[in-house]
Structure formats: structure tokens, C-alpha cells
Structure 1
Amino acid sequence: MKKILSLIFVVLSFAVMAEEDLRISDIRVEGLQRIDPGLIFNNIPFEIDDRIDDIDFSKSISLIYKTGQFKDVAIEREGQVIIISVRERPVINDVIFHGTESFQPEALKEGLSLMNIASGLIFNNGDIARAEREITNNYLSQGKYTANVRAEVVPLERNRVDINFYVEEGRLSRIKGIAIVGNRSFTQNELLDEFSLKTTNVMSWWEKDDRYSKQTLMGDLEKLRSFYMDRGFMNFKINSSVVSISKDKKKIYIALTIEEGDKFSVGKLKLKGDIPENISFAELEKELAITEGDVFNRSKVNESTSNVASSLGNFGFAFANVSSVPTIDEDKKTVNFTFYIDKGKKIYVRRINVLGNEKTKDEVIRRELRQLESSWFAQDKVDRSKTRLTRTQFFDTIDIETPTVPGVSDQVDLNIKVAERNTGRIQIGAGLSSSEGVVGTLSVAQDNFLGTGNRIATAISTGDINKTYSLSFTDPYWTEDGVSRGFSIYRRDVNTKDLGTGTYNTSSMGFGMNFGIPLSEYDTLTFGVTIDLTELELGSDAPIGYKNYCASVASAGSLNCDTDSLSLWTGWQTDSRDNMIFPTKGYRVSLNGDVTLPVFDMQYYKITATGEQFFPVSENITSRIKGTIGYAESYGDEIYPFFKNFTVGGQSTLRGYRQSSVGEKVLDTNGQYITYGGQKMVAISAETYFPVPFMKKMESFRMSAFVDGGGVFEDSLTASEMRYSAGIGATWLSPFGPLNVSLAMPLNDDNLDDTETFQFGMGTNF
């Protein structure tokens, strides 16, 4: 019996030992449809020939789940074979929207893709509710508080699904009331004028300003805070803002509770800290935008700190820190400010890198820079460099970055990133002019020829009065110092039958050469020579003065004469405008003189001076004043050529009067009054530009209100001969050229004046 028991024990012991040493002979994966088995094998912590007893099945299942590809995972054992059973998550086949009008489906899909809901991604049922909320929030931001979004998942073959979103957009919820409680110093209307949000009004259909948005309200609250802070109320508070909606979710009401506090004025101002030796506190005090006794203005305080920091930046201290610390005197209702200055280290520019210029040569960009390598950083020079690059009109965008040099605390690089624009233009079209009718144009120009910055242009312009054909070339950097040189050749035919200046025709051909010498950053001296060959043909009704001129250069009684000239001209111009197209500040002044040499028929000189000043009235409103005077005279025994007379009238000088119609009148041989012009001219204008109502941007469209004045005189200037007008105008930078429209009322015209209330013109002058 004992032998039998011993034998049984030995057999069982071997069985247990064999069981403990069992190893994996195979691993099978079941349930895969589109996923490669390698994904599972790469994520399980066991392989064939591993001991079965060493397998942590729970951990293995967890690792497979973490791949995110499966919704069910199970691991079983059949002898020495491990069987892994899985159920794949379905793949999103398509995302489909029904009932969307306010949003494009592609825009909604882009937002959902950030939530991993997109064609080709794994479907997760838990994402559906989040997607419904996200789409609903998009409609809430549009003021549609009754919007309803419902998702439906449609199973497809091969373990795919379509997700359908059914949207009921509902009606817009509109702001019906905005109430402010606690305002004592300003009326509610004054405060609400600062808001972007409005109650429903006659223009809400266009402005969409009665649609509630939390982000817009936050912005309006900050505008309200700034409004008070800029008017002395430095302790202003917004105690509460409550937004409520009606039961039908169609009406929104906003209630604000504010506390104005007392009004404060500016007390003593001090500057303290470490400043460079070559700058005094007195100089920096001039940069402060506030003075003692002013009403407290938070914007002016911030402007002061910025101005002082910028001033230090002009001397190399690019990272100067300026902070303002107020000291409040509640009894006197004043606030003293101490401006603490930490100039930091003087910064040098190690290297200037030009990026993005594929066509424009590096030297064309670098020659416009005023900030130089290996010199200290100067913010004003960097700003001026950007302005000069903008003026070239070669680039759509210009971004300047100043990254610090790694491992060095007092050096930066200047990275100039440009996005080039197409500087070549070909234009075939027609323009309209109230004085010339249809004006055909053909022009081909390249402002950046072969990336050199040189300009070459040819143009043809045909109108009832002027027909012009021209070819020109300009090298703006003929020398390294910025001296420019240009050539031009032209043909110009003029027929004055529709101008009211007496009938005559001129046919001119000419060649000119010009030079420009920069005197400073803003001043340029120009000079040149022009040879002009003009054939003059008088009409039979021409006044006696016209005939006398032809007789002086040809023969008595002649109606045809050649009037050639060789003229030298020079000019000076200073220009500080911030923008070449729609300036908002700065000035431009020019003085030009032209004299013909006594080698041909015409012997005269002509001087003109023009000045205009732009200054901002507010963020979107700019005013301009402009004046032009001209004087011309013959010399020697020659008669001054009448077709060189000054005239005034038209959009460029005096709106409300027909082009070239203002000036001395004479009778032609038919007894009709014509405008003879004169050798003295004055034109003045005051104009205020403002954005087109209901348009928030002024980049290409703006309106103006103006008062013009002008006169042409044969002898002395007299006030009675001046003409004035007032009106409104609009300018649109259309794809076909600038369109200018004006509606003007002459203020003191007489019976002989030729008025024109509505005037317009399209196209570029060459």
C-alpha cells in the first residue's frame, strides 16, 4: 500500500512541475477587421515561449485598451495557446450637416476635427455629446439661443459609421435693453455710445450690433472702464453685470451696476532711476503726455511710459523698463506719479537677416535700412527702415523681429521678413471722367524690374481732351548715396473744344531726363531738362490773344505755329506722411521752378509751391489742409504762351466748377466768353476724411467733407476773383484704379462761371 501511495505522489509532483513550466506555444488574435495584428503584438508584454504563469492578463488587456482602437478586449487560454479576442471601434466615414445656414459645413467640420471627429478617425460615442454642445455654442455666439442640435450615428458595412448632425437654427435673440445704474457724471446715452453692443435699431440688420456675445460684452465693459479712467475717475468700478433672457429666448437684457468714485487730477510728476549719461531727466520729461493739473487720464499715463521707453530705445536701450507708480491724495483728489526707469543694458545689432525676398535683391532692401549691423539698436531707425520699405510698394507685409543672440545678453539680430507683391502690372480698360467722358487706358509697368528696384513703364491714355503716350525709366539708386536718375519720352495731343478755354489743338513730343538728390530722410532735391516740340493749331474762333501769340512766333494772321522749348527745372520736396495712399498724419511741401532757355521760341519761367498737412482728429477721422500758389511770366521780348496759363476748376483744384473753367474770361470771334486763364494762381482746400458709414475699415474706401477755394489772375490777386465751393466726396481704390466722386455746391459763382455739381473720375494719371 505504501508503495502505491508513493507512486501516486511522484506522478502528481511531476504533473505540478510540468504545469508550472508550461510555455506559450502560440498567440492567436480574433475579431480583427481592418487593424493589423502587429498593433496588438507590439502592445502586449508577452510572446511565444514565455511562461504562461508569468502573464499578467489584466495588465495586457489594459495595454490593448490604451491603443484606443478597441471597445472590447478579452484574453483566454486553451492549453498552451493564448487567444486574444477584440471588437474594433468603428471608423468615421463622413460627417454630414443638415439645416445649417449661418455656418458653412466645412467651418463646422474644421472645429469638430479638433475634437477628433472627422472622416477617417476612430469613432468614440462619448465625443458626440461634446460635439452637440460645441455646435450649439457656435449658434449661441451668433445670438441664436433657440438653436437645437441633434446627432445621429448611422452604422455602415465594414465597421464604419456616418455621423449626421440635424440643426434647427431657430430665430435670433436680440438685445432689447441695456441699463446702467450708478452713473452720475455722464448720461446713459453717452456711455452706451462707447459700446459695440446696441439695442435693436434701424441699422441692426446691417451692423448686427444687437446680437449678444459674451466676448463683445467683456470688450464693452473694458471700453466703459477706459472711458471713466480717461476722464479722471481712477477709482471707477463695475460692481455687477447681469445678462437675462426672456422665457421665449428671443429677448436679451443687460444690466450693469457701476460706481464712479471721485474725479482726480494729476499732481507732481517725478522721474527716478538709472538713465544714460547722454540723456537728462529734463529731456525725458518732455516725453510725458501728462502735466501737473491735468485731469487724470489712464491712457495718457500709459502713453507717457511708452514714450520714455521709446526715447531710451533710440539710444540703444531696447529693453528699457519704465513703470509708473501712483500716490493718491484722497483729500486733495490728486494723484502724483513717479516714473521709475531701468534702462537695462545697451543693445547692439549683431546681424541683419532679410527673409522672404525671392525676386527682390538683398541690396534693394538693405539700402533702405537706417539701422546698421554692429551698431547699437535704435528704435527710431528701425521704425524709419520699415517706413522706407513700405514706401517702395514692393511688399504686401513687412515684419521686423529682434530675437536675442543665444548666450549673449547685449546683442540682438534684426530679422526682416517680407512678403513680396506683384510689382508688374498690365492694365487694359476704360475710365470715366466728368470732363473727358470715356478715357481708354493701356499701361504696362514694372516697379521692381528684375528685382533691382528700377521702374520701367509705358502708358497710353485716350480721352476727348487729352491723348497721351509715354515711356519712362527710373533708377532710384543711380548712385550708392541714393541719387536717382530717370528718362522719359512722350507724345501728347490736346483738343480743347470741350473745355471752354477757346478752341485750339496742340500736338507735343518731348524727351526728358531727371535726377533726384536726397538731402535728408524727408527732403529731396530734383532737377532735370526737357525738350518739348509742340505744334499749335488755332480754331477760327480763337480770341485775339491766341492769334497774337502765333503771330509772334510765326507770321501775322497765321493760325498754325511751332512752339518748341528747352527747359530746365528744379524742385524741392519734403514728405513726412505716414502712408502714401491714405495718410493720417504728416505733411508734404514742394517748391518747383521751370525756366525755358532762349534757344527756341518759348521763353518763360514758371514757379509753383504746394503744401499739405494731415493730422488725426480721432482713430478713424483725419483732416487735411492744402494750399497751392503759382506764378508764371515771360522774359525777353517774347509773349507768354497762353496754353501754359494756369487754370482752376475740376476735382484736382476746385470741385463744383468745371475743369479749367475758373479764370479770366475773354470773348472769342463768335462773341462767346471763354476762359483764358492767367499767370497767377491760388488754390486752397480744407478736407476731413471719415470712414464710410456702416463700414468698419478704411483701407480702400473713405468719404470726406470739404471746402475748396481757388482763383486765377492776370494781374494782382483780388478776393473778388476767388471762387469757393463746399461738398462731400468719396474715394475708392478699385481694381481698375482710384475712383473719385464729389458732390459740390459753388458758394459764390457768377453768371459766367461754368459749374458742375457732380464730378467723378476713374483711373490713374500717367
Structure 2
Amino acid sequence: MHSMKRLFWAVSFGLLLPAIVWAQSFVVSDIRVEGLQRVSAGSVFAALPVRVGDQIEALDIQNATRALFRTGYFQDLEIGREGTVLVVTVRERPAISKIELTGNKAIKSEDLLKGMAENGLAEGQIFKRATLEGLALELERQYVAQGRYGASVATEVKELPRNQVELIITVDEGKVAAIKHINIVGNEAFSDDELRDSFELQTTGWLSWLRSDDKYSREKLTGDLERLESYYLDRGYLQFSIDSTQVSLSPDKRSVFITVNINEGEVFSVSEVELAGDPVLPEEEIRRLLLVRQGQTFSQVLMTTTSDYITKRLGNEGYTFAEVNGIPESDDAEKTVKVTFFIDPGKRAYVRRVEFRGNTRTSDEVLRREMRQMEGASASSARIEQSKVRLERLGYFKEVQVETEEVPGTSDQVDVEYTVEEQPSGTVGATVGYAQGSGLVLGANVQENNWLGTGKAVAFAVNTSRWQTVYNFSYTDPYFTPDGVSRGFNVFYRERNFDEINVSSYSTDSYGAGLNFGYPISEVSRVGLNIGYSHLEVQTGPFAVQEISGTPKPIGFSDLNPLGVVDNYILQSELESGDFELGDWMGQVFPVEGSEELFQMPGEGFIDANGDSFDNFSLTGSWARSTLNRGILATRGSSQHVSAEFTLPGADLEYYKFIYTGQYFRPLTKKLTLRLRTRLGWADAYGDTTELPFFENFFAGGFGSVRGFERNTLGPRSTPAQIYDLQTITVTNPDGTTSTRNVYVSDDTEFTSAARDRRPDPFGGNALIEASAEVIFPMPFVKDQRSIQSAFFIDAGNVFDTSCGSQQINCFDIDADYLNVSAGIGVTWITGFGPLTFSLAKALRENEFDDREAFQFSLGNSF
């Protein structure tokens, strides 16, 4: 009892001591601060509400203590006096020397550190424990918002020498709780499945691992509830309401159950539609834009869409800041609603300046010539948007954005600013290597659609190897005249020796040039004209394929000895003795010895009938129409291109060629887009030319055609040459005498056998059919989707020939039963060296001699 009394008086004395010490006020003659390490004395003096010369009392000291503590720099301090000198002794809070984060994956470390720095927790800053604890709680709340209800954040403060600390933050993110059930209560007009279809949140399904749509998020649920409300309002349920929402969690915090209680109300119909305000335009013109009609079920989306239509129409007349609001007035007794569109056009605006941002490479002139909104003219929403679309179609930019801003100090002027983000618009390649059969390979090629930012297209290539030398240069100016007439030209020279790579025993030398013009006939359509000249010389060897240079070869007996007789003697018993030329037999029909079968000697090859040197002048007309939203990796719109090429009468070769290509994009959902593509071709000879030149044939297979098959390998195959030697042999006549005969005997040397047994090469045909259907989807885990496109696809197509040779394999007249079909996935990525393309495909239907190729890769072509 006595000890308790002594303790009481001791404590009381301690509490009263400061009051006794400061009972007498004094005038401060000086202020001294002790204990500072990192905090400057100036910071202390700035926070201290006492100055030299002030007369202070005990209350002033209390206020000064509170002021210094509020700075957050000190964890303890003491204010005393030595005579008339005020002494401030402080103990600073420790500084943060290092911050270590572990266990976080869903939220990146740089994002966490940035958030901590914004709250004063960063290396070099003063450590505040309260801030750390609050930040840990906030971090846990963020994980809960992501559906990670089992997440926890542990903090540890490790003291270091020199009054420093290390913060160790350990995160256990836990598992994201999956939605097991979404229950909607109170719906009678629509089923649960109908209502849930519009939800972003879904119960766990077989694609949930990819879409993550079964992971609960408070923000996503809020959006789903807004969509649910819009669903009912768009169907006339004006009294619809969401009474309550419950989100419950399973005991293991791994499953989420959502219940939404709703009240549907009654369906309202439109009783009247009125216009109010100042429509500016004639009322009948405005009423043609109304989607809301008297007598129909009320729809909120039709009302808001009508407002948008009227706003855009006024914007086209220069009323850029027009406001149109649809106001519904309901009659609960009659279950009707009167809709009034209040129109405030504002003042007509004029464009002061059109400016561009972000085009560091492309000159302003290239962008400005695409503008349909002119400076000084009244502002038109349609022309401003049309200019934006034209910039996107150039293919030079990842993204184009446009903003219309009022000019300060005026009420009728605006500035239009286009912001672009540039992307690669060409391909660059170089090759130095060695290939078996081709030898040393040297090459360089450049194709640039925006040459030095001028908008001109330039391409040149130099390639040389043991089997070919190619030089090519082309140039196109899309604005040769200010009104959009284009002009271009190209020149080329090629030497190719196909015998060097065992393709066929022939080589070509060719050179030529062309001049082309294009003329715009509308905003989305152009016509073109190309005049070209080419000179081609073909040199054939003994192994040139039958279709190029004819050689005697039996038709229809590929599994037999050439004539079905021993020793490979040709016409041993059926022809009279004597000298003869094989060329005399071309196309003739003969019996096979010892058989009732007949065989036909092959006819002339192309070179036999048409010569081997050609000078040609060609004329090509074309029409193109494009409404695509982008020049590269489009996702909306369509495009078509038709070309017709004719060699001029009197040229060494007379033929014509028609090609049609088209594609169409249609959105399926918010993230999925359907793309349909086709390419059709037809060609034939006319006049004195006996058949379409083999070097003008169509080919199919590979990227841009039918993926899953090797490039250019579909369709007709060539007929390998058959080599014969003229020899003199001795035969025994029926009367016992002998005589000599000159016969042609098949050459059975090892080289000839290998050439004959080799699989025939693709030869192409005069008819082409290709079609493709793709579903474009966003690439998972890729934030910037503007330079990458991925798609599931089904390709179909083949090359046909309407005049197949009797010995040609894989050659068919046009027949859908012989279309090749494949399916797979493809990815295109726009890089600095051009489009980088991958595809993985499986052949679903093929012909006997087609060459499959499951994985394909290309740099410079889109899929």
C-alpha cells in the first residue's frame, strides 16, 4: 500500500515537472538543434513556430513539439532550455536503404514500387511504419478486387547500421476464386442463359483458362450489371431495377457465388416522338434519321443511336459542338413513353488549322494530301473522320487518332489535330550463304512503300547464285498529280538456268520494262492501266520436260517398258526398216507389240510449236475498290481487285489473263472478326499461239494461298523427258537372212534413270481457284495488338488446266472435288524488317501427288 502511494506521487511529480520548469516565460535569444543526421536544420526551423526574440511559455513549447512531429521526420524529440537558449534534441526516423519484394506475379514489381514511392515509401526516403501498414492493407484490397481472397501481405522491417532499415514485403497472392454459379432472381420474360450471355463474367468453362472469364472482379460485375440494365431498357422495360446483389465466398475462398435480384416491371411502347430546340436543318430531314417510331416497343439503344445520328448530321453541316439528348417521359398508367429529342446545335464552327503529331518520319505533305477537311472551311464530322480513315489505309501507321479542340477566345473556330503512331511500311533483306546445288548465294532487296517519308513506293532487288541472276527496280508515285493520279515504272533483267538445280533442262534470259498509271474514280475506287514490254529467250537441253520441248515417249504405260517390248526397242516389228526422225512420230498412234493396246506418241512441246525467242507488248487494265479500315492488318471493311492482261495483236505470243482478288471483314463479337478471302484466275492463248505459255501458268500452295501445302506445289505436274539414242542393230528376217535397222533405243544410263524416276515438278495451269475463311482473335498475353494479328483459318484451292497433257499427273479440269483443303492457325507480326508470318496447318483433303508442309514461316509476306 505504501509502495503504491510512493509510485503515485512519483508519476504525478514527473507529469508536473515540465509545467514547473516552464512556469516562467522567457525570451528566446538563440535556438540550437541537436541530433540531426539527414534532415537539414533548415527543415526544422521552417517547421518550428518559434523564432529568436519570441517570448514563449509552456503552451508554445507544446505547439512546437506537435509541429515538429507533424513533419514525419522524427520518431522522438525533446525541447529544453539552457538559460535563454532553446535546445531542440531530435531522434530521426530511419531511412529506407532497400526494398525487397517477393511472391508477387499478378501485380508487377515496378507497379508496386511506383505506388509505394507515390506514398513516400522509396529507397532514400524517411521510413514511416504507419504508411507501410496502410500500404499493405491497400495491397491486400487490390488482390481481393482481383478475386484473390486468400491473398496476404507480410511486412518486415530489418534495422541496418547508421539508422537505416530494409523493408521486406512478402506477398502470398493465393489463387483466384472461380465463379461457380451466377443466379438471377426475379426474371420472367427472359431465361437465365439469355441474360448471362451478355455478361463478361461467366462460370467456369472449357475455355476459361484462356479467357479468364470465370475470375471474379468487382469492376467486371459492375459492368455486367450495367449491361443487364441496358438489356431490359433496350426491350422496353422502363421500370426495370436491380434490387440487390449478393456475392458469397466458399469457406476455402476458392469459389464465388453471385446472386442478382431484379424487378422487371412492364413493357412500355412509344406513344409519340417530338423534336425540340433548334434543329437548324429541315424537320423532315431530321425525322428521316429517327430510329424511334410511334407504336414500337421503347428501346434505349435506339434512342441514343438516334441522338448520335442527328449529332453527326449536324456535325457534317459545321455544328461540331451540337448536343442532342433524347428525353423519355413515361406514363405508368398507360404503359407508354413519349420521347423528345432536344437539339442544341450551338454555333457553326470553322477549321482554323489542321495539325499533325507523331509523324517523325513521314512528312506533313504526305498526310495533308489525304485530308478531306480543309482549313478555313466549315468543320464537318464526316470529312474529319474520312480523313482519319484515309490515313489509316496508307499502311504507314499503327494508329491514328483525331481530336477537335475549340480555339481559345473564339466561339466558332476549331483546330483539328491528328496524332499518328508510325510503323514499318516495307521489307529489307540481305543474303550471303552457300547452298548445295545452288552454290554461293548473294542477294539484297528493299521494298519500301513510304520511301524516306515521301509516300512513294520504291523497290529494288539484286540476287545472284549459280542458277540465277536477277535485277529489278520499281517506282510508284501515288500523287503524280495533285488530284491523286499515280504513275510508276519498273525495269528488270533475269538470267535463270534451271538445269543447275535439276528442275528441268532449260534456261531463260529475259528483260523488260513497264509504265503504269492509276486514276481515282471515287474515294474508295481506282482504275489502272499498265503498258509493258518484255523479251524472253528460252534455251532447252535434252532433259527439258515434255510440255516445254516434246520428246518421243509412250503415253499411258508408265509402269511398263517404254514400248512393252524387250530391250527397249521402239517399233521393233511394226515399222519398216530404214532411217527416220523421231519428230515425224509426234502425235502418231501405234499398236504395242504382243498386245491389243494402242499408244500415242506425245505431241509437240511449247517450244516446238511457238519457238524459243519472244518479244511481247502487253496491256493491263485494272479496277480496285477498298473500304478497309487499315492498310495493314485490317479488321473491318472489304476490298476487291480485278485485272485483265492482254498481249497486243502481232506480238510473238498472244494470250490473255484475268485475275480477281477480294476480301471481306465482319465483326462477330467484340473481340472476334470473320475474314473471307478469295482469288480466282483464268488465262488462255489466242491467235497463232497454240497454248498458254508455261511461264505464265498459275501456281498455288503456301502463304497467301492454301497453307499446309508447300509453296507453288499444287496442281498439274510436268512430264519428265524420255531420252533415246539412234543405234544400228542386226535383226534376223523370217527367211533366215539378217539385215540392219536403225532404231531408237532408250538411254538407260544412271543419270537418265535418276532423271526419269524423279518425282515430276509442279508445272501450274491456266485456271486458279482459292478461298479462305478466318476468325481473327486477339493474341493472348500481348498488350499491344496493333502490330500483331492471329487467326484460325480454313483454306481451300487448287490449280486446274483445261488442256491437260495425256501423260500429266495431278492435272484436272475445273472440278470442286479436287480442291485441296487445310485448317490451322496463323500469326502475322509487323516488324522493322517486314511482316513476320507463321502458320501451323493440317491438310484435310489432298490429291495424290500434293506435297504437305505443316509448319511454314516467312519474313516479308502476310498470311
Same fold flag (TM > 0.5): yes
Displacement of 1:375 in angstroms is: 0.9
1: distance between equivalents of 2:528 and 2:323? 44
- Taking the aligned partners of 1:76 and 1:667, their CA distance within structure 2 comes to 111
How has the CA–CA distance of structure 1 residues 358 and 664 changed in structure 2, closer, same or farther, with 3 Å as cutoff? closer
Q: Partner of 2:405: helix, strand, or coil?
A: coil
Q: CA separation of 1:666/1:35 partners in 2, compared to 1, >3 Å: closer, same or farther?
A: closer
> Which residue is 1:6 aligned to?
none
**Cα distance change of structure 1 residues 603 and 718 upon mapping to structure 2, 3 Å threshold:** closer
3-state SS of paired residue (2:828): strand
Query: In structure 2, what is the equivalent of residue 189 of structure 1?
Result: 193
Contact in 2 for aligned 1:441/1:461 (Cα 8 Å): yes
- Equivalent of residue 691 in structure 1, options 774, 777, 780: 777
2:81 counterpart (56, 60, 77): 77
Indicate yes or no: 2:828 matched with 1:739.
Answer: no
Inter-partner Cα distance in structure 2 for 1:69 and 1:42: 13
Within 5 A, what are the aligned runs for 1:492-571? 506-537=508-539, 539-543=543-547, 547=604, 549-554=606-611, 561-571=612-622
Report the CA distance between 1:309 and its aligned residue. 1.0
Name whichever of 343-352 and 418-427 sits farther off: 418-427
Change (3 A) 1:450 1:112: same
For 1:502 and 1:312, locate their aligned partners in 2 and report how far apart those are by CA, in whole Å.
68
Counterpart CA distance in 2 for 1:21 and 1:140 is 56
Residues 659/700 of structure 1: CA separation in 2 closer, same or farther (3 Å cut): closer
Q: Which whole-Å deviations, capped at 9, do the CAs of 1:446-483 have from their partners, x for residues lacking one? A: 44333322233334689999996533233322333333
Which residue of structure 2 lines up, in the alignment, with residue 11 of structure 1?
none
> What is the CA distance between 1:505 and its match in structure 2?
5.6
Asked if the contact 1:662–1:711 (Cα under 8 Å) also holds between the matched residues in 2, the reply is no
How far does residue 352 in structure 1 lie from its aligned partner after superposition? 1.9
Asked if 1:119 corresponds to 2:88, the answer is no
8 Å contact kept, 1:179–1:254 = yes
- Which residue number in structure 2 is paired with residue 17 of structure 1? none
Deviation at 1:660, TM superposition (A): 6.7
> Offset of 1:140 from its aligned partner?
2.0
- C-alpha change, 1:708 and 1:693, in structure 2 (3 Å) is farther
- Post-superposition offset of 1:712: 5.3
For the pair 1:592 / 2:691, whether they are aligned, the reply is no
Report the counterpart of residue 704 of structure 1 in structure 2. Answer: 793
Structure 1 residue runs without a partner (length 5+): 1-19, 431-438, 555-560
SS of equivalent to 2:450: strand
Partner of 1:123, secondary structure, is coil
Q: CA deviation at 1:720?
A: 5.6
**Structure 1 residue 534 displacement after superposition:** 2.0
d(CA) in 2 for partners of 1:365, 1:230: 41
- Give the C-alpha shift of residue 764 in structure 1: 3.3
1:740–1:762 CA contact under 8 A, matched in 2:
no
Check whether the contact 1:27–1:83 (CA below 8 A) recurs between aligned residues.
yes
Instruction: List aligned pairs for 1:660-679, cutoff 5 A.
Output: none
From the superposition, tell whether residues 540 and 311 of structure 1 become closer, same or farther in structure 2 (CA, over 3 Å): same
Shift in CA distance, 219/507, structure 1 to aligned 2, threshold 3 Å: farther
Comparing 649-658 and 70-79, the one that deviates more: 649-658
Aligned-partner residue type, residue 702 of structure 1 = A
Match of 1:7 in 2: none
Tell me how far apart the structure 1 counterparts of residues 57 and 856 of structure 2 sit (CA, whole Å).
Answer: 94
For residues 392 and 348 of structure 1, what CA distance do their matches in structure 2 show? 27
Deviation at 1:412, TM superposition (A): 0.9
Q: Does structure 2 retain, via aligned residues, the 8 Å contact 1:662–1:712?
A: no
- Report Cα offsets for 1:538-593 as digits up to 9, x if no partner: 55441459845424543xxxxxx122322232322121112333434323233323
CA offset digits 1:624-655 (Å, max 9, x no partner) = 55565555455553445432655464355667
Mapping 1:153-168, distance limit 5 Å: 153-168=157-172
- The counterpart of 1:404, out of the listed 388, 393, 406, is 406
Whether the 8 Å contact between 1:357 and 1:419 is mirrored in structure 2 is: yes
2-side partners of 1:502 and 1:610: how far apart? 31
Query: TM-score under structure 1 normalisation?
Result: 0.81
Amino acid at match of 1:165: I
TM superposition shift of 1:408:
0.6
Please give the secondary structure, in 2, of the residue aligned with 1:228. helix
How much does 1:383 deviate?
Answer: 1.3
**CA offset digits 1:211-238 (Å, max 9, x no partner):** 3221122122223333333444443322
Task: Specify the SS of the correspondent of 1:387.
Answer: helix
Distance 1:529 1:562 in 2: 20
Within-5 A mapping of 1:4-403: 24-44=28-48, 47-48=51-52, 56-264=60-268, 268-276=272-280, 279-289=281-291, 296-328=298-330, 335-403=337-405
- Taking the aligned partners of 1:719 and 1:67, their CA distance within structure 2 comes to 87
Give the number of equivalent residue pairs.
Answer: 728
* Deviation per residue, 1:172-221 (Å, 9 max, x gap): 43333322222333333333333333334444444433332211221222
Residues 1:730 and 2:825 are matched in the alignment: yes
State TM-score, norm by structure 2.
Answer: 0.73
Asked if 2 retains the 8 angstrom alpha-carbon contact of 1:95 and 1:162, the reply is: yes
User: 8 Å contact 1:267–1:293 — kept in the other structure?
Assistant: yes
The amino acid across from 2:693 in the alignment is F
Selected match of 1:475 from 459, 474, 477: 477
5+ long unaligned stretches in structure 2: 1-23, 433-440, 551-601, 723-755, 805-811
- TM superposition shift of 1:410: 1.0
Kindly tell me: are residues 253 and 639 of structure 1, through their superposed partners in 2, closer, same or farther at Cα, counting changes over 3 Å?
Answer: same
Does the C-alpha gap of structure 1 residues 620 and 154 become closer, same or farther in structure 2, counting only changes over 3 Å? closer
Q: Check whether the contact 1:204–1:210 (CA below 8 A) recurs between aligned residues.
A: yes
TM-aligned CA deviation for residue 419 of structure 1: 3.0
Query: Following the alignment from structure 1 to structure 2, what is the Cα–Cα distance between the partners of residues 108 and 136?
Result: 12
Q: Residues 77 and 585 from structure 1, CA distance in 2 versus in 1: closer, same or farther, beyond 3 angstroms?
A: closer
Q: Is the 8 A contact 1:264 1:296 kept in 2?
A: yes
| Structure-1 separation of matches of 2:761 and 2:70 | 94
> Residue type of the partner of 1:691?
F
Aligned equivalents of 2:191, 2:826: Cα separation in 1:
36
User: Pick from 563, 575, 582: which aligns with 2:626?
Assistant: 575
Q: Which moved more, 1:503-512 or 1:312-321?
A: 503-512
After superposition, the Cα gap between the structure-2 partners of 1:265 and 1:640, relative to the gap in structure 1 and judged at 3 Å, is: farther
Single out whichever of 296-305 and 261-270 deviates more from structure 2. Answer: 261-270
Query: 1:448 is matched with which residue: 439, 450, 461?
Result: 450
Cα–Cα, structure 1 residues 194 and 62, in superposed 2: closer, same or farther, change >3 Å? same
Give the number of the structure whose alpha-carbon radius of gyration is greater: 2
Cα gap change, 1:678/1:719 in structure 2, threshold over 3 Å: closer, same or farther? closer
